[in-house]
Each structure stands twice: as C-alpha cells, then as structure tokens.
Amino acid sequence: MSKYIVGLTGGIGSGKTTVADEFSRLGITLVDADVIARDVVKPGTDCLKAIVKQFGEQMLLPDQTLDRVQLRTAIFSDPDKKQWLNALMHPAIREQMLKQLEEAESAYCFLVAPLLFENQLEKYVHSSVVVDVPEQVQVSRTTSRDDVSTEQVKNIIKAQISRSDRLAKADVVINNDMPWAEVKPKIEQLHAKYMALSKKKT
C-alpha cells in the first residue's frame, strides 16, 4: 500500500486529468473517483441490479448499461429516491475506492476526485492538491474540449464548491493558468516533494 495519499481536485476544465496524467507518467498510481462511480453500476453489478429493481427496466439502455439521463430524471424532484440512491451508491463507491487505495503500490498515490471537498473525501488523504484556473479559463477550455455551451459550464461551476472555498481547503495549489511547458516543471518539483514525504512515512 502507498504510504502517502494525495487528493487531487479542481473545478470543471481546470486541468485535473492533464495534471494527473503527468503524475501517472512519473509512475504514480491514480485512483479515480469518477471511474469508480461508473464501474459500480456496470452491467452485472449489485448496484445496477438494485437500481433496476427499484426503478424498473426503463433504467437500462438497449445495451443493458445504465441510462443515466433516465435515472437523473427519476430522482430529480424526489428527495426520497435521491436519498435511496445515495445510500446505495456511496458505500459501494467508498468500498471500491478504499480497496484501490490499499492496492496502490507506488511510493505515494493520488485520489483524483472532482468533488473531493464536496463529498468529504479529504478524510481519506494525507494532503490535497487543487488545480486552479480562473472561471473564464474553465469556460473556454471546457467549451473548446466538449460540445457544451458556456451556460452549461457556468451551471456546473455554480453547483461545485466556490473557487475561494476550494483554494482555502487546499494544501497545495497548482496554477494551471499558464502554458503547459511552465506547469510541467512544477509538477516534477511536487513529485520530488511527495516522494520525500512518503519516504519519511516508512
């Protein structure tokens, strides 16, 4: 098990994946909360079976995967159903996340979670890194990457923790509002720091 766990977060389009991929290239294991949240409802899982039992076969797409849009619609205006779903999903996600963190073998590892602070996942990490860019950069990078409108991105930003609260909770901030060639050496420095910290822990 990695001796040191670092939480990596940031708002939509801030550059979490880009930063995480760089650490991965340096040999560091990434545990990705979003990937796990998708994995626990894959066909054949207990979670997907429970969802179909509760909400019906219409929750399945023709290829038998979860119809996320249908599910979102079903829970949208029904707090009880939303609570039921959270009570099902959260323990399954937590269990899988802890298992993967336990299995991580690099000197230290990352828990990559867009909602690290919103979902109180910081209790599982020794330290947190926030990837930060101003809101207009989040909007411009996300709209040029995905087929989404400025308004959709702004709504997602509004639903996430505020930039100032996120920064206040961060142990380390990576300013990603600069060319990648300038960010990369900072990541290498941070890697050296976490390698040293993880050695101290052993």
Question: In sequence order, what are the beta bridge partners of 66?
Answer: 60
Candidates 162, 158, 159, 185; CA nearest to 174 is 185
Q: Does 7 bind ligand ATP (CB under 6 A)?
A: no
How many chain residues are in contact with ligand ATP, going by CB under 6 A? Answer: 16
User: What is the C-alpha to C-alpha distance for residues 136 and 188, in angstroms, rounded to an integer?
Assistant: 27
For ligand ATP, the closer CB: 46 or 146: 146
For ligand ATP, the closer CB: 32 or 122: 32
14-53 residues near ligand ATP, rule: CB under 6 A: 14-18
Backbone region of residue 160 per phi and psi (left: phi > 0; alpha: psi in -120 to 50; beta: other values): beta
Work out how close the CB of 125 gets to ligand ATP at its nearest, in angstroms, rounded to a whole number: 17
Work out how close the CB of 18 gets to ligand ATP at its nearest, in angstroms, rounded to a whole number: 3
Q: Write the CA distances from 145 to 17, 62, 138, 141, 179, integer angstroms.
A: 13, 28, 11, 6, 16
59-118 residues near ligand ATP, rule: CB under 6 A: 114
Binding residues (CB under 6 A) for ligand ATP: these are 10, 12-18, 114, 141-142, 145, 176, 179-180, 183
